[in-house]
Amino acid sequence: MSDGWRNDRIGSALRGENPTVLRRLDAGFAVIGDVQFLPGYTVLLADDPAVRRLSDLPRHRRRDFLADMDRLGEAVERACRRLDPAFRRVNLEILGNTDDFLHAHVWPRYEWEPADLVRLPVWLYPRGTWSDERHRLGPRHDALRTAIGEELDRHRRQVEGQ
């Protein structure tokens, strides 16, 4: 599969062509991040590419999107805690300064992060970190992808079982 999906992340997810999709959620897609310098970095993509900001959604769809963000954050937290005892917490962010479509970032944070960065926003990591080939999403992240997907499935089963 070519990398063309990167130019249309939501459309490619809707067509089943985005290889980063972990699960379809109620208001969007849980996808694993292209870079994994903080293993478990994921993004929630809204399922409508025309939606630019949270306030573009009707109130009930806003609630669905925010509930999906919470669900993805919890799944990342559970999976990362299980896989790395140095897991600290999850940071959730809706920014929209670069990509002009509604999405939310889910950033796991770890005790092993550099002391000068561990308590700062992830966006303050050096620019080179973001493009370093060592952190590029690849097959070595399959166990992490599986763990996050299993946590999303577990949550879905719990909700449906109630």
CATH number of the domain enclosing 81? 3.30.428.10
Count up the domains in the chain and report the number: 1
| Type of residue found at 24 | R
Q: How far is CA 112 from CA 37, 74, 96, 116, in A?
A: 11, 21, 28, 11
pLDDT given for residue 8 in this prediction: 84
pLDDT score of 4 more than 90: no
Q: How far is CA 154 from CA 7, 11, 71, 157, in A?
A: 31, 27, 10, 5
d(CA 23, CA 29): 6
Q: pLDDT tens for residues 96-110?
A: 788 889 999 999 999
Q: pLDDT tens for residues 45-76?
A: 999 999 999 999 999 999 999 999 999 999 99
Domain that holds residue 28: 3-161
pTM equals 0.93
Residues 138-156: what's their mean pLDDT? Answer: 94
Residues 155-159: what's their mean pLDDT? Answer: 81
| CA nearest neighbour of 39 among 85, 112, 91, 107 | 107
Cβ(145)–Cβ(22) under 8 Å? Answer: yes
Residue 142: partners with Cβ closer than 8 Å, 6 or more residues away: none
d(CA 109, CA 112): 9
Strands in 21-24's sheet, in edge-to-edge order, are 21-24, 28-32, 42-46, 103-110, 87-93
